[in-house]
């Protein structure tokens, strides 16, 4: 019984941590709400050892994306966790795919709040990241 309670508490604790960092990503997204033209205002938070190491939102006029802005520094992102409000793009458009940068930087896990409805990206993230052995969580 004690072990079962411990496991339930651990699960709830992880859920609360994910919710906390996703909430902070939404706070980032609010910064440029209504200023990103046709692109949604997205927020992104990068965490390593339960400490925020970078955060950003979509730039004014919609580019660069939040993920790019958060990952553009030369910090060591290897094995960090990315929390983002929208499924990262995996297609070439006016900018390269955010998934390419996520893979290059060695992100261990991704938690995102909403799937992208853009048909160029929708439901392609999991397939793209699984090919590169990255882990995806939703």
Asked if 55 and 28 touch (Cβ cutoff 8 Å), the reply is yes
CA pair distance 116, 112, nearest whole angstrom: 10
Active-site residue, selected from the candidate residues 39, 44, 62, 67: 67
Asked if 76 and 104 touch (Cβ cutoff 8 Å), the reply is no
On the 0-12 / 13-18 / 19+ scale of CB atoms within 10 A, 49 is: exposed
Q: Is position 67 annotated as part of the catalytic site?
A: yes
Placement of tokens 């499924």 in the chain: 87
Asked if 84 and 40 touch (Cβ cutoff 8 Å), the reply is no
Which residues, in sequence order, are bridge partners of residue 81?
Answer: 47, 109
Question: Which residues have a catalytic role annotated?
Answer: 67
């Amino acid at each position: 019984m004690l072990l079962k309670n411990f496991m339930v508490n651990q699960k709830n604790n992880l859920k609360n941590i994910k919710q906390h960092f996703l909430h902070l990503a939404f706070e980032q997204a609010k910064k440029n709400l209504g200023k990103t033209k046709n692109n949604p205002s997205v927020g992104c938070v990068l965490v390593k050892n339960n400490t925020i190491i970078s955060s950003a939102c979509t730039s004014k006029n919609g580019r660069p994306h939040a993920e790019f802005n958060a990952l553009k520094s030369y910090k060591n992102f290897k094995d960090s966790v990315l929390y983002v409000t929208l499924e990262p793009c995996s297609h070439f458009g006016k900018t390269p795919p955010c998934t390419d940068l996520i893979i290059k930087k060695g992100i261990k896990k991704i938690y995102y709040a909403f799937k992208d409805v853009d048909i160029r990206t929708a439901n392609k993230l999991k397939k793209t990241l699984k090919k590169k052995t990255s882990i995806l969580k939703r």
